Copies of this chain bind each other. A is one copy, B any other.
Amino acid sequence: MEIFWNKNPQLIAELSKVKTIMKNTIGHPDSFVRDPIFQMIEAGGKMLRPSLLILSSKFGNYDSKRVLPVAAAIELLHTATLIHDDIIDNSRIRRGIETIQSKIGKDAAVYSGDYIIARSFMLINEQYDENMIKNLSKKISQICVGELKQYRFRYNSDISIYDYIKIVSAKTAALFSLSMYIGAYLGGIEEKTTRLFGLTGLRAGIAYQIIDDCLDYCGTDATILKSSHNDLKQGFYTLPLICALRNDKKGTLKSLLDTSNFSGDAVYKIYNIVVEKNGIHDAKRIAEKYTEKAYDALRRLPECESRATLDHILNALLDRQY
């Protein structure tokens, strides 16, 4: 959190309130359930979606009593998808702490995620607004479709850039888009402009996920705080690999993937070909394209202090070290 917005004490204070609302929403189930969820909330992450929501709302008439609970609900839903994501990816570390699936088992992690989803809907219902629940449940179903599509494409070396963009649009960018859309909506901004907020979030979300996927090919456990090359080991072929496949006219990489056992040696070999065939380089170019598109949309929003902060955040997010 501090990495990105430590220059904005007001936002930090608001995010702290969001965390409190998140914890209050979890309530007091069995400590077996509560403790690991609280630890995950405390470990924090970037709190990006609530930040986008709050800042978008400040373009209009900002009402913290309405905005902060909705921001908390969206971050809780994001937390639930991370918990379920970690089950699927078999991840052991997230936000620098042990994952819930590793701590209490995959089985219990399924219901912990479900519990959080149900509590998020309880929270959002308190701020009732038909349009909001509709959008929220729609985006959650989109995230699931994205994740399922990604799962179905595992170990499929015929995956196209188009397939990949469809997947990340649903699994990541949908919630970015919703956060900005709902923020603007709660700020009472007129419908047409509200959609432009959604578009900014969508584009930024796509760029963000591509960068994340590039980091999986570049980072170490220490720098990105999660297992490196995890995607590849799990059979998830992300953009750097897809770009390398496209550049590898002889089909060496494709053959290697189609016959690989994904052992340490094989992964190392694949990784080297991805670098050699400019996979990371090309993926970065595509990320830059979406980053530019996000800024294009952002620049069409009314000029205000929040826009400057959003600009700063997008810059920090989309210019991370590969």
Asked if A115 and B33 make an inter-chain contact with CB atoms under 8 angstroms apart, the answer reads: no
Given contacts A110-B87, A151-B108, contact A121 B145 (CB under 8 A): no
Query: Cβ of B137 and Cβ of A115 under 8 Å apart?
Result: no
Judged by a CB distance under 8 angstroms, whether A303 is at the interface is no
Query: Using Cβ atoms and an 8 Å threshold, which residues of chain B touch A118?
Result: 117, 137-138, 140-141, 144
User: A107 contacts the other chain (Cβ, under 8 Å)?
Assistant: yes
Residue pairs across A and B with Cβ atoms less than 8 A apart, 26 shown, are A30-B149, A30-B152, A81-B114, A84-B111, A84-B114, A87-B107, A88-B107, A88-B110, A105-B151, A106-B106, A107-B151, A111-B144, A111-B147, A114-B140, A115-B148, A117-B117, A118-B138, A118-B141, A118-B144, A119-B137, A121-B136, A121-B137, A122-B138, A125-B137, A128-B130, A128-B133
Residue of B nearest to A88 (CB): B107
Q: Is A198 an interface residue (CB 8 A)?
A: no
A7 adjacent to chain B (CB < 8 Å): no
Interface size on A, residues (CB 8 A): 41
Number of copies: 2
Q: How far is the CA of A117 from the CA of B84 in the complex (A)?
A: 14
- Report which of B119, B137, B148 forms a contact with A30, defined as CB distance below 8 A: B148
Of listed A30, A32, A88, A144, residue having the most chain B CB within 10 A: A144
Instruction: Please name all residues of chain B whose beta carbon is closer than 8 Å to the beta carbon of A125 when the two chains form the complex.
Output: 130, 133-134, 137
User: Chain B residues near A9 (CB, 8 Å)?
Assistant: none
Q: Given the complex, which residues of B lie within 8 Å of A119, measured CB to CB?
A: 137, 141
Interface 0/1 of A78-119, CB less than 8 Å to B? 000100100110000000000000000111101111110111
Instruction: Enumerate chain B residues within 8 angstroms of A138, measured Cβ to Cβ.
Output: 118, 122
CA of A106 to CA of B128 in the docked complex: distance in angstroms?
34
Interface flag for A264 (CB, 8 Å):
no
Question: Are the CB atoms of B30 and A145 closer together than 8 Å?
Answer: yes
Question: Is the pair A148, B87 in contact by a Cβ cutoff of 8 Å?
Answer: no
Chain B nearest CB from A121 CB (Å) reads 4
- Excluding A114-B143, A122-B137, A128-B130, 7 further A-B contacts by CB distance (< 8 Å) are A32-B148, A32-B149, A88-B110, A111-B151, A125-B130, A125-B134, A133-B133
